[in-house]
Amino acid sequence: MPATAELERMLRGASLRVTRPRIAVLAAVYEHPHADTHSIIGLAREDLPEVSQQTVYDVLGALTDTGLVRRIQPPGSVARYEARVGDNHHHAVCRSCGAISDVDCAVGSAPCLTASDDHGYALDEAEVIYWGLCPGCSTARSSDQATL
Ligand SMILES: [Zn+2]
Ligand SMILES: [Zn+2]
């Protein structure tokens, strides 16, 4: 978790003015990877009780546009945000409870950008989602079956 001074430096580096809502939201995304907007509003309000929902939406938009934060949205899920950016990592998503975990690129750094055929697109991101059951849900499921 970066110190406030570090968060301020990151905002300035992205040409964003340092504001308390931006610091609060960026800190919340760092502390809670893959949090959704609703949780981020709650977390930001722990630091800044008066911050409005619209402000948090606007800040998330600005942080995403400048690349400080990455927005992911697995099909069937609401948008989630994370501060681990630039490494093109992937996600494992639980079909049952919606838990999300980071998965590094299977073969080193961002090789998944090398599409077999790029169709002339200038590609800058590849998104892979591994679907399945998280450990908690697969344990629950196998003990269900044991009692059948
Ligand atoms: Zn699960
Ligand atoms: Zn992630």
Task: Tell me which of 22 and 147 has the higher pLDDT.
Answer: 22
- Give me ligand 2 centre to Cα 89, in Å: 7
Name the closest ligand to CA 93. 1
pLDDT digits (tens, 9 = 90+) for 65-95: 999 999 999 888 899 999 999 887 889 999 9
- Order across the sheet with 80-82: list the strands: 35-36, 80-82, 70-72
pTM (2 d.p.): 0.83
- Give me ligand 2 centre to Cα 147, in Å: 35
pLDDT digits (tens, 9 = 90+) for 133-146: 999 999 988 877 66
pLDDT digits (tens, 9 = 90+) for 92-110: 999 999 999 999 876 656 5
Q: What is the residue type of 110? A: A
